[in-house]
Chain A
Amino acid sequence: MDPVSINLLGLPGRPLLWLLAVVCFGVFGWRMWQIVSRLRQAKPQNRFDRWPDRVAHFIQNVLLQKRIFNERAIGWPHFLIFWGFVLYATCFNWALVKGLFPFLPIPYPDEVGLIGALLEVFGVIVLAALLVAVARRLFFPPPRLHLSLDANLILGLIGVLMVSTLLGRTFALVTEGGQAHWHHLISGLLRPAFSSMTKDTAEGWAKAMWWAHMLGVFTFLCYLPFSKHLHLMISPFNVFFGNLRPAGSLDAPGTSDDYGAGAAVWKDFTWKQLLCGYSCAECGRCDRACPAQNSGYALSPQDIVQKVKHHFEQEAFRQGAGTATSSGVPAEGGEPRLAGGLVTPAEVWACTTCMACMDCCAVWNEQIPLIVQMRRHLVGQGAVDRGVQDMLDKLNRYGNSFGKSDRMRARWVQTAGLKIKDARKEPVDYLWFVGDYASFDPRLADITVKTAKIFQAAGLDFGLLYEAERNAGNDVRRIGEEGLFEVLREKNLQALGKAQFKRLVTTDPHTYNTLKNEYHFNGSGPEVLHYTEVIAQLLADGKLAVKKKLGLRATYHDPCYLGRYNGVYDPPRQILRALGVDLVEMPRHHNKSYCCGAGGGRIWMEDTEKIQERPAENRIREAVALPEVKAFLVACPKDIAMFRDAVKTTGNEGKIAVKDIAELVWEAVEREA
């Protein structure tokens, strides 16, 4: 039976099929060309390197759908729908080729037993998965899941495709008559329902089902490139061309002149950044993970991606789109407009750059570079609020965010009566890059001093850059002041270049991140370590002896720039084990750790909106809910500042104490006087 040989209202099947194929593929192709050609007008980005790694990345994240499984309810359903789609798409094209070129000596796909069986099995599985998906959307949608007609249409359409295939096979079986074969797994079960049908009717229905299915796919083909479901075409490419460099590096190939100016309109973004919009499946995972979104700030990472996409669609496809103005031209009124006015500065400034969004995005979208690009534009226009402006001026002038003279940076050494080597004058094994907060904040001096004493107790050969140290620039870069970041980096590299040392150790994870990933010490740089990595090693090597075990029941907060960004999860835990701490993991731990809210320059910004609950407050409440946990342990100076405040503002003083790992280590190793 050749399903193509029909006559529909006088139109023979084959020409009809040809017409549909040409028109629908034409529409699809035209639309894809439209998008691709516009994307090519955006800024370049080299994601064409390291093909073997890209293939591996693709296999893991597209074929194995790794991140999809992070949300349990939808994990298996989506995986199954994906593979069902792969099977059905293959079969559609196969069937179409056979239908268009009947002289080809190949069967129709469902005429092959194995294929038929697969089609039936997957038909049922996908239908079941669809039911779960629909139920989820109707009855238990997670927050920020974009519930749209678009999504429901697609679910319906897929359902139609599955049903038409199953029924088609059934009717074909009725037409054929006789014994059901092994591969009529489902159709064999459905046949009895139609046993009263005549062979002719059945054949008619079988063909009708075939055409219904083909029409369904043709509709899909025309509808897809205009709906969010383009994500199924684009996201594999998005993943393939994803970022393979360390997440903690905001470097982009090309000169900083290219990227330093930031992005105001679509042409200022790179093709890859714009691709994110088409890759986004509007699932809302990024929003669910985002601390800014959960606190009530204007920022929604999903919206950022979608708004940039809408802006691209509005602007790039208009007449004369080739003459779109580039960044640097504020609209009337002087207020800089982002993405054609769709993105507000408030959204862009609310980001803490914690990377929870990118960590959970199943299609590997890159929300933070989008945001930083827009921040760069705002900075370029001078559109930063006063507090940030003051901070940048101070950083430029004094090299630190506290506005204190750079000569005061190492005062804490003197005040504590410590003797620490000057790495500028003599060679050291470890150069300790202390960082602004640990050096200047009087509330944190105690912890810094204890860290120094721990190093001394272990006989570590370490030194400081003293006044030559400048803010490492991690948050300066993330605020969008690329020029200032370069100045700071240059000065630090100069000072480091003159010093002699084997390894760098930092107190602050932000410092750690940028020194490790963005400093590029002319080729093979020194090893960059966080102080927890150093102390864990010292304990393991026996260079630090634990005098008394701390019978403390505590929880540990993974700092964003140490954990999620750089994968340093174990050393702090190793330390705590060695100290005899009874560690209770936070419900959101390791890469799910919830940001304290200080990153991305947020610690320097005013809250201009009424916030329900700050990220740090949410986190403390999460900790306090753990039974019998008395201490909240951190490994970052900014965390100390943020969480100690949050303990006060949530009224939890006395219930939980915020301590740095260094404080605990010192307590455990302290030699008696």
Chain B
Amino acid sequence: MSNGILVLVEQVKGEISEITYEMLGLGRRLADELKVPLTAALTGGGVAGLAGQLGAADKVLVVDSPALNMAPAATLAGVAGAAAAQCQAGLVLVGGTNVSLGIGTILSLRTGLPYVNFCKAVKVENGAVVATSLLCGGKILSDVKLAENRGILSIYPGAFPAEAGKSDKSPTVETLAAPVEAPAVEFAKFIEPETGDVDITKQDILVAVGRGIQSQDNLALAEELAQALGGAVCASRPVIDQNWLPLSRQVGKSGMSVKPRLYLALGISGAPEHWEGMQGSRLIISINTDPKAPIFEGSHYGACADVLDVIPALTEKVRARKA
């Protein structure tokens, strides 16, 4: 028998990740539509206190064990399986993040539940859950209907609003005595990123550069523009990979998530991994020579032009306007 939706809570260093709220928001909506309960499985060491933040769920199952902090996917999948069995959940939501990588796949093998990756949208159509996944660098969408509404969905970060998952309500909290597999992988330590001079997540205005900036020398142009605007320079992965800017300036799936008031995407194609990091920006203006660049799909404004031409002109005009 299967009813109920289970959200696998992701927490890192004692903080609930954004993806968890995104999943809770989605889970809440689906649970309300399907009229089934929504449970959250909270795992980790010393995490009981976090349960109160998961009010969007009806119930929180807590498995408190230090071995579960940064545990390998196999171990977490084992606990997730126990939680799913406990609350008789047929639909499991797991984060499509690096932290949660593998849990969904392993759980799928162990329970036989189908696993759907990269879910960007989930809807209920005639009582059936249909998950839409984003594939091939954002160029293809596919719809999968879950048989009997049973399955494991890996949720694409940033695809669903986190606000919908935050709630003042207090959920029922239960401790789950799930057997914890001895982790085959030992977690040694965290390595913090070098604190860059600038915390781009705190900036209101970001001038983002991608391959279109062409050479390290041209970064100076972007710096000038950022200065004129009162913001900071950040970059997509290709620029960081070339070591033109430090890791602390990277925006994207493996970099920072930013939500500035203005995100100027200059010479950035807009691959999903980058998009993930800045989709929440209030105003997105993109410049790229390729009229088919995916970045234009989600931007508010755009222009098909060479950033090396536009940046200096823009800097001049911004300065003139401010003066």
Contacts and interface: CB of A to CB of B under 8 A. Distances in A.
Interface of A: 386, 442-443, 606-607, 645, 648
B242 A442 contact: no
B242 A607 contact: no
Contacts of A648: 308-309
A606 B289 contact: no
Contact of A442 (B215, B217, B289, B308): B289
A142 B242 CA distance: 40
B235 to A, nearest CB: 16
A648 B309 CA distance: 9
Contacts of A442: 289
B217 A386 contact: no
8 nearest A-B pairs in the assembled complex, by CB-CB distance: A606-B215, A607-B215, A442-B289, A607-B217, A386-B242, A606-B216, A648-B309, A645-B308
Interface in B260-286: none
Given A386-B242, A648-B309, 8 more contacts: A442-B289, A443-B306, A606-B215, A606-B216, A607-B215, A607-B217, A645-B308, A648-B308
10 contacts: A386-B242, A442-B289, A443-B306, A606-B215, A606-B216, A607-B215, A607-B217, A645-B308, A648-B308, A648-B309
Contacts of B215: 606-607
A607 B216 CA distance: 9
A645 B217 CA distance: 14
A419 B26 CA distance: 54
A442 B309 CA distance: 15
Interface string B291-323: 000000000000000101100000000000000
B168 to A, nearest CB: 51
A648 B311 CA distance: 13
Interface residues of B, number: 8
A443 B217 CA distance: 22
Nearest to A441: B289
A430 B58 CA distance: 77
Contacts of B289: 442
B243 to A, nearest CB: 10
Interface string B214-258: 011100000000000000000000000010000000000000000
A606 B242 CA distance: 11
Nearest to A442: B289
A443 B309 CA distance: 13
Contacts of B308: 645, 648
Contacts of B242: 386
A411 to B, nearest CB: 12
Contacts of A607: 215, 217
Contacts of B306: 443
Of A443, A606, A645, A648, the most chain B CB neighbours within 10 A belong to A606
Contacts of B217: 607
A386 B211 CA distance: 13
Nearest to B312: A648
A386 B309 CA distance: 25
A645 B214 CA distance: 13
Nearest to A443: B306
A32 B291 CA distance: 66
A539 to B, nearest CB: 34
Interface in B184-224: 215-217
A610 to B, nearest CB: 9
A348 B72 CA distance: 49
Contacts of A645: 308
B293 to A, nearest CB: 13
Nearest to A387: B242
B219 to A, nearest CB: 12
Contacts of A443: 306
Nearest to B214: A606
Contacts of A386: 242
Contacts of A606: 215-216
Nearest to B217: A607
A645 B306 CA distance: 11
A646 to B, nearest CB: 12
A386 B242 CA distance: 8
B167 to A, nearest CB: 47
A645 B289 CA distance: 15
A652 to B, nearest CB: 14
A442 B216 CA distance: 23
A607 B289 CA distance: 22
A645 B309 CA distance: 9
A443 B306 CA distance: 10
A443 B289 CA distance: 10
Nearest to B242: A386
A386 B238 CA distance: 11
A108 B289 CA distance: 81
Nearest to A611: B217
A648 B218 CA distance: 13
Nearest to B291: A442
A645 B312 CA distance: 13
A648 B215 CA distance: 16
A606 B239 CA distance: 13
A404 to B, nearest CB: 10
Contacts of B309: 648
Contacts of B216: 606
A386 B239 CA distance: 12
A442 B290 CA distance: 9
B202 to A, nearest CB: 31
A190 to B, nearest CB: 66
Nearest to A648: B309
A558 to B, nearest CB: 27
A538 to B, nearest CB: 34
A643 to B, nearest CB: 15
A657 to B, nearest CB: 15
Nearest to B304: A442
A411 B54 CA distance: 54
A177 B191 CA distance: 100
Nearest to B289: A442
A69 B12 CA distance: 77
A442 B291 CA distance: 11
A607 B242 CA distance: 13
Nearest to A606: B215
A661 B216 CA distance: 33
A648 B242 CA distance: 26
Nearest to A385: B242
B220 to A, nearest CB: 12
B310 to A, nearest CB: 12
B308 to A, nearest CB: 8
